[in-house]
Structure 1
Amino acid sequence: MPTLGFLKKKRTKDSSGSKDLDSPTSPIKETLSPITPTISKTSDPLSGTTKAGTSSSSTESTNTQDSSSTAKTSDPMTYQQSYPAQVQQRPAEPYQQSQQNVPSIRNLIHHSNTTNASSAHADSTQSSNGGAVTPGSGTAQPQLRVTKGKYSLGDFQVQRTLGTGSFGRVHLVQSKHNQRYYAVKVLKKAQVVKMKQVEHTNDERRMLQKVKHPFLITLWGTFQDSKNLYMVMDFVEGGELFSLLRKSQRFPNPVAKFYAAEVTLALDYLHSLNIIYRDLKPENLLLDRHGHLKITDFGFAKEVPDITWTLCGTPDYLAPEVVASKGYNKSVDWWSLGILIFEMLCGFTPFWDGGSPMKIYENILKGRVKYPPYIHPDAQDLLQKLITADMTKRLGNLHGGSKDVMTHPWFAEVTWDRLSKKDIDAPYVPPVRAGVGDASQFDKYPEETEAYGATGDDP
C-alpha cells in the first residue's frame, strides 16, 4: 500500500520569485488554462536541443491496473518487530527479470532520441533551479519558503481516499475558495503517539515548511483537531514512479537517466540546507501531469549539519554505515541514489534477497553487487562509485560534493539548468486530465468511517 505521504497535490504554478504559489484559500482568478498548449518537437534526451521540422508521435499510455506481481504486499508504514520501528519494510515481492533486453516500457516510452512534447514550457514561471548546483557555476543560494496557510476542514470538500497507512490516510480534496484540487494527509494522533513517531512527524512538517524546489512536494499548511493532524499538500496526478517501473519491468538507459537527474537536483538542494532525506525509493517519487518528478514523504527527513545515528529508512536502500549503527552524514542519500538507479535499470535492487530484512542487511554489509551485462558502462561506473561502503570514495561525499555526481560521464548530455526549469520534455506523460481532480492513476480504497473534526481528549 502507498505510504501516507506518498501522495501530495498538484502544484498550480511553480515560482521562484516573490510571487507565491496559489494557496488553497486564494480566491479564484481569471487565468489562462492550466494546460499549456504543447508543441510537437524532437529533442536530444536531457539536453533540450530541438530539431526543427520534426514532430513526435503521441505517447502511448495504458490505464490497466497493476497486475498482482506489482502489488505492494505490505504497508510501508506498518513496522515489523523483526527490525527497528524506524525502518520501513519493502514489499516482499519476487522481482522478475525479463529474458529480453527490451523492456515493456517501449509501449509507454519511445526509445529513440525523441521525446514527446509534454509542454516544454510548463510551469514556465519557475525561473531558477531552486538552489541546485550547476556544474561550473558553483552553489546557488538555497531558497527558503514559509508556509502561510491557516486552514480548517471547512475550507475543503473532502473527496476520495488516495492512499492509506498505519497512521491514517491521504484524501483528495477541493478548495472551496479557488476550486483547485489538493491532497490532505490525515494522521491519527493516537497512532503517531503509540508508534513513537512524534519526532518524525514534527520533522516532516518542519522540513516541508522550509523547502521550495521544482522536484519537491509543496506543503501549503497544517491544522489539527483533537484526534487528527492535517497536512495540506500538492495533489500530484501522475501516480508513483513505482507503478510505472513495475509495469515496465525496467527502464531504458535514457529514461532512468532523466529521473535520476531530477532526483540529483533535488538532493543537491536538500543537502545545501543540511537536510538528509533518508527514504529515497520509487514509492516516494511521484509524477506530475507533465511527467516530471516530485519527491514526497518527508517523514524521515532531518536537518543534520554533521552526523546522526538514527536507524531509519527502507532495508533495500540503507547504506552500510546505517545498518552497522555507525554515525552517518548526507552521503547516505547518494548511496540510495545508486540503489535507485540500479533498480530503475534492472527492475530489482542489488541486495534484495527474498524480502527478508536481515538477509538484505547481510548482503549490504558484504557489499557484493552483480551488474547485469545490459547496463551501460558509464552507468555501471557511476553505480560502483555510489554503491561503495568506503565513504571516503563515495561520489557525492568527496571534495566536489554533488558536482562530482552531476559531472559524471553518464550525465554528460544533461543540461542541468534547463532540466531544473522543467524545460526538457519528460519521457513519459501520464494519461490524466489536468485540473479536474483526475485520480485515475491511484488505487481505490474503502473510505474512512470516522468523521473528522470531532472534539474530545487530545493525546
Structure 2
Amino acid sequence: MGALCCRPEEIDFDGPVDLWHFYLLRSVGKGAFGKVRVVQHKQTKALYALKYINKARISKQRAVNNIIQERRLLEEIDSPFVCNLRFAFQDDENLFMVLDLMLGGDLRFHLDRLGGLKEEVVKFYVAEMALALGDLHKRGIVHRDLKPDNILLDERGHAHLTDFNIAVHFTERRALTSVAGSMAYMAPEVLAKRGYFATVDWWSLGIVAYELLFGKRPYRGKTNSSLTQSILKDHIKFPDNAEQIVSPEGLDLLKGVSRRRSLCRLLQRDIRKRLGCRHMGGLEAFKAHPWFADYDWEKLERKEAIPPFEPDSKKANFDATHELEELLLEDNPLKAKKRNPNIDVSQLSADYRLMEQSFTPYDFTRQPRKSWFVPDGSGADSTTASADASTSVTGSAPIVPVHTQALTLEEQPMADMTSSGVRAGSALGSRLERADTGTGSGVAAQGQAQSFEMGERKTMGTAAQQGTPTTGEPGQAS
C-alpha cells in the first residue's frame, strides 16, 4: 500500500504543457530574475533550454511587461537563425520559456578568448545574422540589441540570434523614438533621438562584424557621453594591419575603404546609404555585396552550408559554478509543483493579474505561430503600452538595480532622460553575468554593454544575463 501511495502520478502529455513534462538537467545560467537549465522532454527526449523567471522578482523590479513582451514576440517568430520559443507556461512562482538549446556558446566567449576571429568565420556569422534580421524585419520586428553576446552557436556551428527583451514591432507609418539597446552597438539615429526604424539593426551588425574581425569596437569612450559623441561624429578607424587581416571586400562592407566607393556600407550614418536598409535594396543588396561573391545564399538559408567552425562538444560549454550553486546554495530549488486550483485572479495584484492573463501557455506542437501585434500607429505593442501606465515610476533620478552596481559607467543602465518614468527590465539568455571593459575582452556576459530602453514603453532594461561559456575555438585571426 505504501508503495502505491507514493508512486508519482502519471503525466498527462495530452494536457497543457507544464514542468512535469520535462527532466531537469544541468543549471547553465543565472540572471537577475531567474536561471537557465538544460531540460529534456520526457516523451520526445528532445533537449531544450529552460528559462525560468521568478514572478516576485520581476514584479519588484517592475519588469513584468518586458517579459510578457518578449514572450509574445517569440511566439510570432519562427526562423532557422533565431533561438525559437517552443513552450511557455507558468506556475504559482515562476514564468517558464522553453527555447531551442544552443550548445556551442556565444560569440562573446569565443571573442574574449581569441581577440579576433578569422575572416571566413566572421563572414559566415555575419551572413547568418543578416538572414535572421531579414526574417525579423519581414515580420515588422526590430531587435535593437544585436551584439556578440546575443549570438549563440548550435552544436554544428550555425549562428542564432537570441534575447528579445527589448525587441519591438515597428511600422513604416511612425518612427520609434526610445533610446534602447546596448550603447556601444547603438546606431547614430537612436542616440540622436530623431526617430528610427529597422535600419538600426544593420548598423549593429556592422559593429559586430568589426569587433569580431579586430577584437575591439570601432567607437569607444570612457563615459556614456564620450561614447555617444564618438558614435555620432568620429570617423571610423581600422587597425594598421587591417589589410593584412581582412580582404578589401570585407573592409568595404564596413565603411568603403576599397575602391568601390559606389557601394553602400553597414557603418553609414546616412541610413539612405546603409547596406541592408530598404532604401538601398534591403537584404538582397546585402547578399549581392562582393564579400559574399562565393556564397550560395539558398544553400545557406537551408542550413546546408558547412560552418567554418564546429564547437567542441566534448568540452563543457557552461560554467559549472551554476550547478554548484544550485546544489549548495539554493534554498528553493526548482521542481515541478501543482498550481493552486483556487486562484481568484480578481484578488491578485496588478502585476500578478497581468502575468496570469497575458503570459499565456504555448506549445509549438499544437499551436500555430501568431502575432499579438495590433498596429495602432504607435509603433509599439498596444498590450504592453497600455499596461505601462500602472507600473511606471516618475522621477528624474536613474533607477540602477543592485545587480548592475559593479558595472562601469558605460555598462550601466541609463535613466529615462524625459523624466517620465523608468521601469527595470531583464533578459535571461544562456551566458554568464560579468562586467566588460568596452573593448571586447574579459567578459562572457550577455550584458557586456548593458541593454537599456527609454521611451515608447517607459522602460529601462537592465539586461542582467547569463551564460554558457564554450571551449571551442572558431579560428583566431592571424
Both proteins in one fold, TM over 0.5: yes
Q: Percent identity?
A: 38
How far is 1:149 from its partner? Answer: 9.4
List aligned pairs for 1:3-402, cutoff 5 A: 150-306=16-172, 307-354=175-222, 356-372=223-239, 373-374=241-242, 375-384=246-255, 385-397=265-277, 398-402=279-283
Name the SS for the 1:313 alignment partner: strand
Amino acid aligned to 1:336 = S
Query: 1: CA distance between counterparts of 2:290 and 2:46?
Result: 42
- Is contact 1:316-1:360 (8 Å) kept? yes
Range with greater deviation from structure 2 (260-269 or 439-448): 439-448
Kept in 2, the 8 Å contact 1:149–1:222? The answer is: no
Which of 441, 444, 450 is the matching residue for 2:332?
A: 450
Task: Supply the AA of the counterpart residue of 1:414.
Answer: Y
Offset from partner CA, 1:177-217 (integer Å, 9 cap, x none): 22222111011223323333333222211121111121111
Q: What corresponds to 2:307 in structure 1?
A: 426
Question: 1:357-377 CA deviation, whole Å, 9 max, x = no partner?
Answer: 333222112232111242432
Residue identity matched to 1:424: A
Distance apart, 1:318 and its partner CA: 0.5
Secondary structure at 1:388 match in 2: coil
Q: TM-score, normalised by structure 2?
A: 0.61
Does the 8 Å contact 2:104/2:155 carry over to 1? yes
Q: Distance in 2 between matches of 1:420 and 1:351?
A: 32
2:307 and 2:73 map into 1 onto residues whose CA distance is 27
Name the CA shift for 1:192/1:324 in 2 (closer, same or farther; >3 Å): farther
The CA deviation at 1:353 is 2.9
Please give the TM-score of this superposition, normalised by the length of structure 1: 0.63
Q: Decide whether the 8 Å contact of 2:273 with 2:280 is kept in 1.
A: no
**Matches of 1:336 and 1:348, distance apart in 2:** 14
Determine the C-alpha separation between the residues in 1 that align with 2:215 and 2:201. 20
Alignment length (residue pairs): 309
1:408 aligns with 2:295: no
The one of 314, 317, 321 equivalent to 1:441 is 317
Contact 1:149 1:221 in 2 (8 A): no
One-letter code aligned to 2:71: R
Letter in 1 for 2:179: L
Q: Deviations over 1:110-161 (max 9, x none)?
A: xxxxxxxxxxxxxxxxxxxxxxxxxxxxxxxxxxxxxx99421111122222
Distance 2:98 2:200 in 1: 29
Code of the residue aligned with 2:112 in structure 1: it is R
The letter of the residue matching 1:219 is: L
Equivalent position amino acid for 1:391 in 2? I
One-letter amino acid of the counterpart of residue 198, structure 2: K
Which residues of structure 2 form unaligned runs of 5+? Answer: 1-10, 256-264, 353-478
Q: Which has the higher helix share?
A: 2
Report deviation, 1:222: 0.7
SS in 1 for 2:96: strand
Check 1:192–1:358 CA distance in 2 against 1; reply closer, same or farther (3 A cut): farther
Cα distance in 2 for partners of 1:224, 1:343 equals: 38
Deviations 1:235-283 (A, max 9, x none): 1111112111222211121111011001111111111111101111111
- The one-letter code sitting in structure 2 at the alignment partner of 1:206 is R
Question: Aligned in 2, Cα 1:232/1:149: closer, same or farther, shift over 3 Å?
Answer: farther
Instruction: Give the structure 2 partner of residue 33 of structure 1.
Output: none
Whether contact under 8 Å (1:367, 1:389) holds in the other structure is no
CA drift of 1:326 comes to 2.3
The residue aligned with 1:139 is none
**Retained in 2: the 8 A contact 1:290–1:430?**
yes
* Structure 1 residues 236 and 203: CA distance shift in structure 2, 3 A: same
Paired amino acid for 2:304: D
> Are 2:211 and 2:217, in contact at CA under 8 Å, matched by a contact in 1?
yes
User: Using the alignment, how far apart are the partners of 2:176 and 2:12 within structure 1?
Assistant: 40
Q: d(CA) in 2 for partners of 1:186 and 1:168? A: 5
Does structure 2 retain, via aligned residues, the 8 Å contact 1:26–1:177?
Answer: no
- What stretches of structure 1 of length at least 5 have no aligned partner? 1-24, 28-147, 434-438
Contact 1:26 1:178 survives alignment (8 Å): no
2:272–2:280 Cα contact (<8 Å) kept: no
Q: In 2, are the aligned partners of 1:216 and 1:266 still within 8 Å (CA)?
A: yes
Q: Describe the shift of the 1:190–1:357 C-alpha distance in structure 2 as closer, same or farther (beyond 3 A).
A: farther
Calculate the aligned-residue CA RMSD, in Å. Answer: 2.3
Shift of residue 26 of structure 1? 11
- Structure number with bigger Rg: 2
Q: Distance in 2 between matches of 1:327 and 1:292?
A: 33
Secondary structure of 2:20's counterpart equals helix
* Equivalent pair of 1:238/1:431 in contact (CA under 8 Å): yes
SS of equivalent residue, structure 2 residue 207: helix
